[in-house]
Amino acid sequence: MSLMSGGEQALTACALIFAVLANPAPICVLDEVDAPLDDANVDRFCNMLDEMRRRTRTRFIAITHNPVTMARMDRLFGVTMAERGVSQLVSVDLRQAEALAAE
């Protein structure tokens, strides 16, 4: 593993985690696991998440700043601070947003 790049290490770690999900959990939280990946590997990672979601019915919560990963998700949650000291939760259903944009 020490000879691998950061992105290769991250993908290998994700693959190992998914391989041992013999008894899948209902929810899996992934925190910035796509950070060391380039765009091609982020796409592979998202494809792996889609496949795991279809096979196991596990819901994945991906904490990320990567726009490629965010574009592949069903729903986005964020926190914004319109006024100093006042945080507000923002939620966007991307499928509904695409339908509205198509109209």
pLDDT in tens, 39-84: 988 998 899 888 888 888 888 899 999 999 999 998 999 988 888 9
pLDDT at 91: 92
81 and 60 co-located in one domain: no
Where helices occur in the chain by DSSP H, the ranges are: 6-19, 39-56, 67-72, 94-102
Question: 14: domain range?
Answer: 1-72
40 and 22 co-located in one domain: yes
User: CA angle at residue 76 from 14 to 25, to 5 degrees?
Assistant: 40
64 and 80 co-located in one domain: no
pLDDT at 22: 64
pLDDT at 1: 66
Dmax over Cα atoms in the chain, in whole Å?
Answer: 51
Which amino acid belongs to residue 84? R
What is d(CA 45, CA 50) in angstroms, rounded to the nearest whole number?
Answer: 9
56 and 68 co-located in one domain: yes
66 and 82 co-located in one domain: no
Mean pLDDT of 75-98: 89
18 and 60 co-located in one domain: yes
52 and 87 co-located in one domain: no
21 and 53 co-located in one domain: yes
40 and 64 co-located in one domain: yes
